[in-house]
Amino acid sequence: MPHSKIVTKALPVPTSRLSRMAKLGGLASSIAGNVATEAARQLARGERPRMGDLLLTPANAMKVADKLAQMRGAAMKVGQLMSMDAGDVLPPELAQIFARLRADAHHMPWPQLKRVLAQAWGPDWRGRFEKFDIRPIAAASIGQVHRAQSKDGRDLAIKVQYPGVRRSIDSDVDNVASLIRVAGMLPRHVDITPMLAEAKRQLHEEADYEREGRCLSQFGALLADRPEFRVPELHPDLTTQTVLAMSYVEGRPIDDLAAESQAERNRVMTLLIELLFRELFEFRLMQTDPNFANYRFVPGTGQVILLDFGATRAFPDDFADQFRRLVRAGLAGDRDGIRAAATEIGFLCEDTPARLEQAMLETFEMSLEPLRYDGPFDFGATDLAMRMREAGIAMAEDHRHVRIPPMDTFFLQRKFGGIYLLATRMRAQVNLRAQIEKHL
């Protein structure tokens, strides 16, 4: 079942660029008002206010999260992307508030939904269905999912895109970036231009449901010989750029696995880690959104359901080979080999200061601990994530040399991080070394 988010109340999606810009403009003014009030309060107490502390308050973060959740579309998506990596940048209480954007999503009210479906399918669209559930079974940043039965007996999950999403992507991304800058959430010298361009490109792809349908079918074909996985089937006759029709697949949230036996948790995580390595080294095609809602499982059959292929990314041919060289050198403890491969990929540059290069190489070697371990690695009994986070924060403090990594590696790291978090949540024990060696 294509669940993405817990569905909250119906709230119309602001569709014009002007109304969306006004919402973010109003948000900036509101934050500025909060800052001025708090600064006055601190001065009255004889304290010297620091701008960073005034901006990054829980009240301001709550305002940002609520406004982005109401706007949906690219604005909400950018907030979600920030929250995936917020732990390295924001204080924990703020990261927690931003994480709400991954859990909450409002849905369109019925009159707005009706208009969207009439535009996609024509005014007589209801004649195609025996039943169409008005209340969505899931709502996310750029669309919501409804269950339906067609007149010819198909049990369907219909993903409907919020109106105005495609038109507002570029302005939403620019406006949210300005808001992040104004709020002082990033060091001034960090150039996020390549990240913004990539966010726009990916969001335009994600908002093309015909493309997502092709990716869905592609993964279905790639995994056709693996009955352990289940990918919904595309129904092209009902799919348009803004509506995606697929078979409805019944399953439970992947989080429910936490209550299953150790053997079952190990089995499912082994499957997902094996798939991750196949996506990189074999398919050279990866579903790069590691949101837990994109995985479900079927208790009776033990199948893992894979959902949401909007963020599917094809990697260049040499990308897998570069990573193969990097991992081989890492497993062999070859520091020079690691440095050469990391430079080739773009993690390191010729002008990276020696101390930062040393820290980056040590962090990479630390990240290989699960792969180096001979036998099942116990994700539930390791402090690796905490050590990696501390190392990341220490490197980020060297503001002058902070660089955005190459975009392919950014999305790869995001997927690896998501699967690592899921394995930790499941307290799984997986022999990663045996998994990676097949591909080296």
Exposure string for 246-284, b = 16+ CB within 10 A, e = fewer: bebbebeebeebeebeeebbbbbbbbbbbbbbbbbbebe
Per DSSP, 260 falls in state S
**Residues 76, 77, 82, 83, CA torsion sign:** positive
Highest mean pLDDT pick, 54-58, 78-82, 186-190, 206-210: 206-210
DSSP assignment string, 188-220: TT---HHHHHHHHHHHHHHT-HHHHHHHHHHHH
Beta bridge partners of 313: 286
Region 283-299: what's the mean pLDDT? 90
Please tell me which residue in 172, 289, 308, 408 is annotated as part of the active site.
289
- Catalytic site includes residue 408: no
pLDDT tens-digit series, residues 30-70: 555 555 555 555 556 666 545 445 455 556 666 666 656 55
When pLDDT is cut at 50, 70 and 90, the band that residue 86 belongs to is: very low
Alpha helices in 286-406 (DSSP H): 317-331, 335-345, 354-367, 369-372, 384-396
- The proportion of the chain whose per-residue pLDDT surpasses 90, expressed as a percent, equals 40
pLDDT tens-digit series, residues 225-280: 999 999 999 999 999 999 999 999 999 999 899 899 999 999 999 999 999 999 99
Average pLDDT, the chain: 80
Region 282-287: what's the mean pLDDT? 95
Which residues, at least 6 apart from 170, have a Cβ–Cβ distance to it below 8 Å? 200
Highest mean pLDDT pick, 287-296, 320-329, 361-370, 387-396: 320-329
Per the confidence metrics, is the pTM higher than 0.75?
yes
In this prediction, residue 56 carries a pLDDT of 52
Distance CA 291, CA 307 (A): 10
Beta bridge partners of 74: none
In this prediction, residue 88 carries a pLDDT of 41
Residue 395 pLDDT greater than 90, yes or no: no
